[in-house]
Amino acid sequence: MKEFIRKLFWGSTEITEYSTVTVEGAIREQVFFETGSFTINVSDAHWVLCLEPVVFGVWVKRHENVIISQETKCSLCFCSYKPKNEVRPGRDAVAVVTLEYLDKVEDPGGTLYLLKQKKSRLYHVNFLKTLVLFFKYYKKPKWPFAKYKALVAAYSFPRRVRVVSVSCDGYFNIFPMDLLGEIPHSGKYVFGLRHTNVALSKIVEGAKVVVSEVPFIYKEAIYGLGKHHGSTPPSPGSLPFTLQTTENFKSLVPAWAEGYKEITILTTKDLGSHRLLWGEVVGEKKLEEGQGNLYHVHFLLYYHQKLRGTAYRVV
């Protein structure tokens, strides 16, 4: 019966909670930050930083003169790609997330607002398909439909996977992340690390971390590092690939990294299941020409793209 329903609703498309894709050129989807008085395109200036609850970081530049408080009604509108046509936030939305103010990080160049998801609305496919997908494939104990919608919305924009390296007083760890990003034109970086990540205390203690840009062709090696989030850290010699040393921190990054950034952590904040780390880039090096990075999108975004003939390449 499950297979019959899958073919009836989804055809031959393989159903996975998240699709792993690569993006050739620029990301085509757009995200708009809206209140009653303004709309800002934040496609390159918003990040998912916590999953329980879902918390977004939205960067607003100083000269935009935007002030968000607990009384401000605001939302993120995730819009699909429209070839040859201008995207309209209201009519082209695949997901809309209503937000409430949680906290902020002030910086000379602007403010990172930390905004908690209150409600999510999905428009990738009709509501019946959305319900069937949830109840047949994603429903878990203590996993309400509202939480499912929040995660679908959060991953209705490609989230790039990077590799994080930690070296502190003989400690070493290396793992992939997609809850992170660079603040445009500011020299700042933001992370959302789960409290259960064994490296978190070492990062806070040493106040430094290295982020590597990595090509999708090393997907298996990248995902192989995922177990290091919560297990005993690996010894450098036990890894199935060679490492190289960064210039300033003398940390270790994959030899096949396209480049890396060395980051000093300036402040942290508790967001729920994750802790925010706010840092400054103090060193960077480009090593190779980009071959295309690895991104995560929710299956519903990928399926919506596929129906429209605009899907990214699955890798």
pLDDT tens-digit series, residues 39-94:
899 999 999 999 999 999 999 998 787 778 888 889 999 998 876 566 666 668 99
Sheet arrangement for strand 18-22: 159-160, 295-298, 18-22, 313-314
Asked if residues 251 and 167 have their Cβ atoms less than 8 Å apart, the reply is yes
pLDDT in tens, 143-183: 788 999 999 999 999 999 999 999 988 899 999 999 999 99
Q: Strand, helix or coil at 202?
A: helix
Q: Strand, helix or coil at 117?
A: strand
Looking at residue 215, what DSSP letter applies?
B
Rounded to whole angstroms, how far apart are CA atoms 32 and 21? 23
Domains of the chain plus CATH, in order, are: 28-157 (2.30.110.10), 162-286 (2.30.110.10)
DSSP secondary structure string for all residues of 241-292: S-EEE-TTT--EEETT-SEEEEEEEEEEEE-SSEEEEEEEEEEEEE-S----
pTM of the model: 0.93
Question: For residue 208, what are its two tokens?
Answer: 């430094």
